[in-house]
Structure 1
Amino acid sequence: MPAIIVRDAAPADRSAWGGMWAANYTHHGATMGEAEVDELWRRVLHPDHPVCALVSAAADDRDLLGFAHYVLHPHTFSSRTVCYLEDLWVAPAARGTGVGRHLIEALVERGRARGWRRLYWHTEADNEPARRLYDRVAKLTDYVRYDVDLT
C-alpha cells in the first residue's frame, strides 16, 4: 500500500465520498434520499458546522480510501470540546492497510492540537475487524448506550 494521506474533505471529493457514504449507510440498513445526502455534504463542508469529515487517500491524492465523520460538541464536565467519531468507513479494497488507523490518529492529533477533551465512538459488539483496530488505539469503556427512536 502506498503512503496514506489524511485531510479535510473538499468539494472535489463529493462523488467518491458519495459512493462510500452510500455503501456505509446501506451496510447499516439505512436509506437516505439525495436531498439528505446533499445536506450532509453541505454540513461537512461548512466551516462553522459541528459535523466535519476527514478523508483518506493514497499519497497521489487521486482515489479516496476512506472517511471519518465527526461531530464536535460541548461537554458538561469541562469547558473543552468533545469529539464524537460518528462514522468511520474504509473502502473494502483498502481494509487492513492502515487507512482506518490513520483516520483515527489524525483525529487524535487534531484533538490534541486544538485542546479537545476527548475523542469517543461506538461500534457494534460483533464488528470484530473494527474492534481489533479499536482495541489497539483506544480504551474500551463500560458504558452502555440506550436509544429512543423519535421518528
Structure 2
Amino acid sequence: MSDQNLRIIPMEESHREAWEGLYAGYANFYRTEQTAEMRARVWGWIQDPAHEVQGFIAFSGSQAVGIAHYRPFARPLSATTGGFLDDLFVDPSARGQRVADALIAAVGEVGRQKGWSLIRWITADNNYRGRAVYDRVAQLTPWRTYDLKL
C-alpha cells in the first residue's frame, strides 16, 4: 500500500458492512463479546449528527483497512475540551503501513479545527504493536485508569 492509495474519510451509511467487519475484529482483538445489537447501537451513534461519537474509516484503494471512533470530553481542571479516541483498529493485513498514524492524525485535525486541547486514548498494557505507534506519535502519561462498574 502506498500513501497515495490511503484515504481517511468520515463514516457514511454505505460503509456499514466494512465497518462491521473491522469493528468485530477490534472486539475480537480485545476479547470482548460484541453482539449485532451492540454494533447497531454504535453505528446509530456514528450516523447521528447530534451524537457525540464520530468515526473515520481508512481505505486502501477500495478495501477498508481501519477505523477510529472519537468524541469530545470536558476537561474541567484545564477548563478546556479534549478529544477522546475511543476505538482504533487496523486490519492485520494493513499493519505496519502507517494506517494508525493517519487515523490518529485525522482525529487530531478535527481537534485542531474544534479548538480541543488534546487527543487522549488508552490501550491495553500488552498491546505492544499499538503502543509502538502511540509512543511514536504521542506522549505516554503517568496516569492509571480505574473502572467503577455500575
**Secondary structure of 2:144's aligned partner:** coil
Deviations 1:59-99 (A, max 9, x none): x4x22110001121222134432111111000010000010
2:16 aligns with 14
Q: Could you list the runs of 5+ residues in structure 2 that have no partner in the other structure?
A: none
CA distance in 2, matches of 1:52, 1:81: 16
**How does 1:24-63 map onto structure 2 within 5 Å?**
24-58=26-60, 60=61, 62-63=62-63
TM (normalized to structure 2)? 0.93
CA distance in 2, matches of 1:29, 1:129: 16
1:82 aligns with 82
CA distance in 1, matches of 2:46, 2:118: 20
Supply the AA of the counterpart residue of 1:84: F
- CA shift, 1:131, in A, is 1.0
**How does 1:1-151 map onto structure 2 within 5 Å?**
1-2=1-2, 3=4, 4-58=6-60, 60=61, 62-150=62-150
CA distance in 2, matches of 1:132, 1:33: 30
RMSD: 1.3
Supply the AA of the counterpart residue of 1:125: D
CA distance in 2, matches of 1:48, 1:80: 21
Q: Is the 8 A contact 1:50 1:73 kept in 2?
A: no
CA distance in 1, matches of 2:124, 2:36: 26
CA distance in 2, matches of 1:33, 1:132: 30
**Secondary structure of 1:39's aligned partner:** helix
- CA shift, 1:32, in A, is 2.0
Supply the AA of the counterpart residue of 2:120: Y
TM (normalized to structure 1)? 0.92
Provide the identity percentage.
32
Supply the AA of the counterpart residue of 2:99: V
- The count of corresponding residues between Structure 1 and Structure 2 is 148
Supply the AA of the counterpart residue of 1:114: K
Q: Could you list the runs of 5+ residues in structure 1 that have no partner in the other structure?
A: none
- CA shift, 1:128, in A, is 1.2
Supply the AA of the counterpart residue of 1:138: A
CA distance in 2, matches of 1:27, 1:136: 21
